[in-house]
């Protein structure tokens, strides 16, 4: 009885401590039974206090290397807790068997998420996150495919720590922080958290969609804190709709710019200037008895929230402060959406939050997204009006809205005018969707209508055209009585011929019809498309490709994956299509299904900067791929010829290669790592647009049978250092290869030149480039290329290349960041030395010589 009674509290202890606590209690109870009744009472009291002691001892927030979490349960998930248990790091269950790797408030009912990984993309049940020494946090799907990892500064991880301020950090051997969630916030800041210049908060897309939304909060390089929108799916910013006015002043040099945004423990939010002064945005408030968070919500408002700590079973988040004051009026985008979608109207509710609604005659394009676009419930346009064969007054009625406007959607302004004439001119204009009349002026507007809002200060009228009949019957061309009568006459003539002819003639006609159908059916069978993989790739026989290439006669090129031949395939009625046929070498000994799965992944890619796969051959030991043929050859031929290409054309090629790699890494259905980025694998089409080839083929090679005769993939001069070390191979190997190619594009010279081609100091392009950058001698790097007028862009490109070729893969940017830096969206910082360690200490000389170009 004693044992049973005192084991009951174990149900409330943490599962991971259950076995240890049970063992301790059983030992204590066993010892107590050997002593006197008085001693037994003492032990009983000790047992009653033991669960409480276990709670205090259960965690200090530290997570050892090798620990892992799994997304397994629908109603709860494993997590790592902070010492007080206020915050948890782990998998939060969302819906539909999906989980989000995140940090959340653990003691409040709604478990509000304050940070998330993997750009807000949820994962399926069975996914795992592992804490590793070299890679930090690594998120994988149930099949072991890497989805996300923490971007370490440098060094080896010793442990992780979930602190009581809501920050999850990875510690190095010297207790320095190699990575922390506070430095890469998502949509929320917590007390004690700061944001430096260039820092950004991203809103989520909706209440349940945690991927990046349209709204941004950023502390710019000029010191101003700004709220602005971007035009998805790009990060191209629009003009700001809130600003802190903390930039340096041109007229007053004594004004110090903002250096960081601070959210302190007391709940105050302010911009700290360089001279130590503060621009206070929100005074202290909230108190120690409340949880605080500052969130950029999916409706574009930056809000400070408070939630009571006491009584964890109740309470809600309340608003303490927010900006802007009226987002419906303050957010006005010259080219793009306002707070609401196209053709929608924004209204501010009593709680100062925006809501959106569609005008009469319009409805939501996506009923689940109230902030989305509205579509007209009727056909509208000049072509539709003409088909109706009616005057506009008969087709449309007018709905009148007061104090409503879409400020930037007008195409005509009429002044002076009256309200009646404004209404009439819109009715008679097939392009006009709505007319706004105010103070003797009429603005005619056409769809899509953007930045719609209700503004009581306007004193205006909005005349919206809505069709009286929303059906589409009126779009059918009107009947022509004369044509109908003529058709009836034709039918009578045809009937007279058929019924007036002899039975024999009718029989002959029917036989001819059947014979015609028979030949048409046979022709259709012959032209039926070949059997396909899941993406309509043609499956060719080896004989067909042998004939198409005239016995593999004309060789276009060769590399680690095989030899490429030019061929012609007959399409349709004798039309010849030029193709490039690649015979793969050293193909893995897989089943037919597994080979087709890999080909299917390649075939699903569709991007203007990738070479398109047309078909394949999987017959016996033969594995061939059929690509579109590009007439201008390789980038190597283009760059390293006698005539140096124009600078602007080289810039466009660099953009194209970067965008193609970004697509392979982040935008296609399955991530593809190329593993051999070099000018020979970049082709140019008839417009000299860069097209990446040979992507996705690394999985089709045997690991021990590449051109290098080692496990190394790649080509001399383009191989990332991690190939030579015991390090995981990630998409960062492609970033390294792109960095070398970018330098070649800039300089129009090969990455490795023999000494008889160039001086010894110029033999390795990466070394030469960094030396020239350090000495400020970029003209020497490009050999005084007179065509390069934009020296600022030249320097930025060189800096991007030096970031890409960092020996430490964690220092290399992602291809998304590379594209942003090349396009000037993100500032390029001064790069460190790419190779801080001597190559001889990390790469044995015999390995350097073991692989071929």
* 189 and 104 co-located in one domain: no
Percentage of residues of the chain with pLDDT beyond 90: 35
Give the model's pLDDT for residue 509: 61
| Digit-coded pLDDT (tens) for 689-717 | 999 988 877 665 443 333 333 345 556 67
Give the model's pLDDT for residue 524: 45
| Digit-coded pLDDT (tens) for 349-361 | 888 889 999 998 8
Of the candidates 715, 717, 745, 716, the one whose C-alpha atom is nearest the C-alpha of residue 639 is 745
Exposed/middle/buried for residue 481 (C-beta within 10 Å: 0-12, 13-18, 19+):
exposed
* 361 and 274 co-located in one domain: no
Residue in 151, 385, 676, 785 annotated catalytic = 676
Give the model's pLDDT for residue 409: 84
| Residue 50 confidence (pLDDT) above 60 | no
| Residue 534 confidence (pLDDT) above 60 | no
Give the model's pLDDT for residue 700: 52
Q: When comparing pLDDT for 582 and 668, which is higher?
A: 582
d(CA 820, CA 840): 34
Q: Is residue 532 part of a domain?
A: no
| Residue 310 confidence (pLDDT) above 80 | no
| Residue 113 confidence (pLDDT) above 90 | yes
DSSP 3-state assignment of 748?
Answer: coil
CATH of the domain at 452: 3.50.4.10
Interhelix angle for 37-57 vs 15-32, to 10°? 170
Exposed/middle/buried for residue 625 (C-beta within 10 Å: 0-12, 13-18, 19+):
buried
| Residue 2 confidence (pLDDT) above 80 | no
DSSP 3-state assignment of 482?
Answer: helix
Highest-pLDDT range among 21-35, 491-505, 519-533, 668-682: 668-682
Q: Band of the pLDDT at 644, cuts 50, 70, 90?
A: confident
**Which of 55-64, 208-217, 504-513, 795-804 is predicted least confidently?**
504-513
| Residue 477 confidence (pLDDT) above 90 | no
Q: When comparing pLDDT for 389 and 752, which is higher?
A: 752
User: Which residues are known binding-site members?
Assistant: 583
| Mean pLDDT for the stretch of residues 825-829 | 87
Instruction: Spell out a b/e string for 244-283, using b for 16 or more CB atoms within 10 Å of the CB, else e.
Output: bebbbeeeeeebbbbbbbbbeeebbbbbbbeeeeebebbe
d(CA 610, CA 667): 13
d(CA 96, CA 570): 48
| Residue 75 confidence (pLDDT) above 70 | no
| Residue 737 confidence (pLDDT) above 90 | yes
Q: Is residue 339 part of a domain?
A: no
Q: Is residue 853 part of a domain?
A: no
| Residue 817 confidence (pLDDT) above 90 | yes
- Token pair of 536 as six digits: 């309509």
Give the model's pLDDT for residue 472: 40
In 181-331, the DSSP E strands lie at 188-189, 193-196, 200-204, 212-219, 225-230, 237-243, 258-263, 269-273, 278-282, 290-296, 302-308, 318-323
Give the model's pLDDT for residue 250: 59
* 687 and 820 co-located in one domain: yes
| Mean pLDDT for the stretch of residues 22-33 | 47
d(CA 204, CA 435): 34
Q: Is residue 309 part of a domain?
A: yes
* 201 and 298 co-located in one domain: yes
d(CA 453, CA 581): 58
d(CA 566, CA 627): 10
CATH of the domain at 762: 1.10.510.10
| Mean pLDDT for the stretch of residues 48-64 | 54
* 691 and 810 co-located in one domain: yes
CATH of the domain at 164: 2.90.10.10
Q: Among this protein's residues, is 165 annotated catalytic?
A: no
Instruction: Spell out a b/e string for 712-738, using b for 16 or more CB atoms within 10 Å of the CB, else e.
Output: bbbbebbbbbbbbeebebbbbbbbbbb
| Mean pLDDT for the stretch of residues 727-743 | 91
Q: Is residue 338 part of a domain?
A: no
Tally Cβ neighbours within 10 Å of residue 852: 10
Give the model's pLDDT for residue 682: 92
**Tokens 């290439």, located at residue:** 549
Strand (E) or helix (H) holding 49 = helix 37-57
CATH of the domain at 566: 3.30.200.20
Q: When comparing pLDDT for 439 and 61, which is higher?
A: 439
Give the model's pLDDT for residue 709: 31
Long-range (24+ apart) CB contacts under 8 A made by 439-443 are 440/415, 440/416, 441/413, 441/414, 441/415, 441/416, 441/417, 442/413, 442/414, 442/415, 442/417, 443/410, 443/412, 443/413, 443/414
Percentage of residues of the chain with pLDDT beyond 70: 74
Query: Which structural domain range is residue 45 located in?
Result: 2-57
DSSP 3-state assignment of 453?
Answer: strand
- Total domains in the chain come to 7
| Residue 519 confidence (pLDDT) above 80 | no
Q: When comparing pLDDT for 350 and 32, which is higher?
A: 350
Q: Band of the pLDDT at 783, cuts 50, 70, 90?
A: confident
* 744 and 655 co-located in one domain: yes
Give the model's pLDDT for residue 643: 81
- On average, the pLDDT of the chain sits at 78
Question: What is the secondary structure of 296-310 as a DSSP string?
Answer: E-TTS-EEEEEEESS
* 147 and 109 co-located in one domain: yes
Question: What is the secondary structure of 205-233 as a DSSP string?
Answer: SSSS--SEEEEEEEE-TTS-EEEEEE-TT
Give the model's pLDDT for residue 483: 43
* 812 and 718 co-located in one domain: yes
Give the model's pLDDT for residue 331: 86
* 87 and 157 co-located in one domain: yes
d(CA 525, CA 287): 79
| Digit-coded pLDDT (tens) for 238-280 | 888 999 999 877 566 677 899 999 999 888 999 999 888 899 9
Highest-pLDDT range among 49-58, 517-526, 684-693, 793-802: 793-802
| Mean pLDDT for the stretch of residues 13-29 | 42
Q: Is residue 389 part of a domain?
A: yes
Q: Band of the pLDDT at 374, cuts 50, 70, 90?
A: very high
Pairing of strands 613-619, 538-539: parallel
Q: Is residue 510 part of a domain?
A: yes
d(CA 470, CA 448): 19
* 255 and 305 co-located in one domain: yes
Q: Band of the pLDDT at 21, cuts 50, 70, 90?
A: very low
Give the model's pLDDT for residue 520: 55
| Residue 681 confidence (pLDDT) above 80 | yes
User: Which residues are known binding-site members for ATP?
Assistant: 583
Q: Is residue 333 part of a domain?
A: no
* 156 and 200 co-located in one domain: no
Q: When comparing pLDDT for 670 and 295, which is higher?
A: 295
| Mean pLDDT for the stretch of residues 495-520 | 55
The reported pTM is 0.51
Highest-pLDDT range among 53-67, 69-83, 479-493: 69-83
| Digit-coded pLDDT (tens) for 646-657 | 888 899 999 999
Residue 281 backbone dihedrals phi, psi, to 5 degrees: -95, -35
| Residue 306 confidence (pLDDT) above 50 | yes
* 297 and 190 co-located in one domain: yes
Give the model's pLDDT for residue 296: 96
């Amino acid at each position: 009885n004693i044992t049973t009674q005192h084991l009951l509290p174990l149900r409330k202890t943490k599962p991971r401590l259950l076995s240890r606590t049970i063992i301790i209690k059983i030992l204590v109870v066993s010892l107590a039974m050997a002593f006197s009744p008085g001693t037994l009472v003492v032990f009983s009291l000790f047992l009653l206090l033991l669960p409480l002691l276990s709670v205090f001892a259960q965690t200090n927030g530290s997570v050892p290397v090798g620990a892992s979490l799994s997304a397994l349960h629908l109603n709860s998930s494993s997590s790592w807790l902070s010492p007080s248990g206020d915050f948890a790091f782990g998998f939060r269950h969302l819906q539909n068997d999906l989980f989000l790797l995140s940090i959340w408030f653990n003691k409040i009912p709604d478990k509000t998420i304050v940070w998330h990984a993997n750009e807000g993309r949820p994962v399926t049940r069975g996914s795992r996150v592992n804490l590793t020494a070299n890679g930090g946090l690594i998120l994988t799907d149930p099949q072991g495919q890497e989805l996300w990892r923490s971007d370490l500064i440098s060094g080896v991880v010793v442990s992780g720590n979930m602190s009581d301020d809501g920050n999850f950090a990875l510690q190095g051997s010297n207790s320095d922080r190699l990575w922390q969630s506070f430095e890469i916030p998502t949509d929320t800041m917590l007390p004690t958290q700061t944001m430096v210049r260039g820092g950004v908060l991203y809103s989520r897309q909706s209440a349940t969609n945690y991927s990046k939304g349209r709204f941004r909060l950023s502390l710019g390089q000029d010191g101003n804190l700004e709220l602005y929108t971007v035009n998805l799916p790009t990060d191209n910013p629009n003009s700001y709709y809130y600003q802190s006015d903390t930039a340096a002043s041109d007229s007053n040099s004594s004004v110090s710019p903002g250096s960081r945004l601070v959210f302190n423990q007391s709940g105050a939010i302010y911009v700290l200037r360089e001279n130590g002064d503060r621009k206070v945005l929100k005074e202290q408030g909230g108190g120690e008895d409340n949880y605080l968070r500052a969130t950029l919500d999916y409706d574009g408002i930056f809000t400070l929230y408070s939630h009571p700590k006491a009584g964890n079973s109740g309470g809600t988040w309340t608003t303490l402060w927010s900006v802007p004051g009226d987002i419906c009026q303050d957010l006005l985008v010259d080219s793009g959406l306002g707070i609401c979608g196209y053709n929608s109207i924004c209204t501010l509710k009593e709680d100062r939050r925006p809501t959106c609604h569609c005008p009469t005659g319009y409805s939501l394009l996506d009923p689940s997204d109230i902030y989305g676009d509205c579509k007209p419930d009727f056909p509208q346009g000049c072509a539709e009006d003409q088909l109706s064969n009616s005057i506009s007054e008969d087709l449309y009625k007018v709905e009148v809205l007061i104090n409503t406007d879409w400020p930037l959607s007008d195409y005509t302004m009429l002044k002076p005018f009256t309200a009646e004439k404004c209404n009439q001119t819109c009715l008679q204009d097939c392009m006009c969707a709505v007319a706004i009349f105010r103070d003797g002026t009429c603005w005619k507007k056409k769809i899509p209508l953007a930045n719609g809002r209700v503004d009581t200060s306007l004193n205006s009228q909005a005349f919206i055209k809505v069709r009286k009949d929303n059906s589409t019957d009126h779009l059918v061309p009107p009947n022509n009585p004369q044509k109908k009568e003529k058709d009836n006459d034709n039918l009578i003539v045809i009937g007279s011929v058929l019924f007036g002819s002899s039975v024999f003639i009718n029989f002959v006609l029917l036989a001819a019809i059947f014979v015609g159908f028979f030949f048409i059916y046979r022709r259709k069978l012959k032209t039926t498309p070949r059997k396909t993989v899941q993406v309509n790739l043609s499956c060719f026989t080896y004989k067909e490709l042998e004939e198409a290439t005239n016995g593999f006669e004309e060789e276009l090129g060769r590399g680690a994956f095989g030899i490429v031949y030019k061929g012609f395939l007959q399409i349709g009625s004798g039309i010849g299509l030029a193709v490039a046929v690649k015979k793969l070498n050293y193909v893995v000994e897989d089943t037919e299904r597994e080979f087709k799965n890999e080909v299917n992944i390649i075939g699903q890619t569709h991007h203007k900067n990738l070479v398109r796969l047309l078909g394949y051959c999987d017959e016996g030991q033969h594995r061939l791929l059929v690509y579109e043929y590009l007439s201008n050859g390789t980038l190597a031929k283009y760059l390293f010829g006698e005539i140096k290409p124009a600078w602007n054309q080289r810039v466009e090629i660099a953009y194209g290669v970067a965008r193609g790699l970004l697509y392979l890494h982040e935008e296609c259905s399955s991530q593809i790592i190329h593993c051999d980025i070099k000018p020979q694998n970049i082709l140019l089409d008839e417009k000299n647009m860069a097209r990446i080839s040979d992507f996705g083929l690394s999985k089709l090679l045997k690991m021990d049978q590449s051109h290098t005769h080692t496990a190394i993939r790649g080509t001399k001069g383009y191989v990332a250092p991690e190939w030579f070390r015991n390090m995981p191979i990630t998409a960062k190997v492609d970033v390294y290869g792109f960095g070398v190619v970018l330098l070649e594009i800039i300089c129009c010279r090969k990455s490795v030149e023999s000494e008889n081609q160039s001086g010894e100091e110029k033999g390795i392009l990466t070394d030469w480039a960094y030396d020239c950058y350090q000495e400020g001698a970029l003209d020497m790097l490009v050999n005084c290329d007179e065509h390069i007028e934009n020296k600022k862009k030249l320097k930025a490109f060189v800096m991007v290349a030096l970031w890409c070729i960092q020996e430490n893969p964690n220092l290399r940017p992602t291809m998304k960041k590379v594209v942003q830096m090349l396009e000037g969206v993100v500032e390029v910082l001064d790069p460190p030395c790419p190779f801080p360690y001597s190559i001889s200490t990390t790469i044995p000389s015999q390995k350097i010589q073991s692989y071929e170009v």
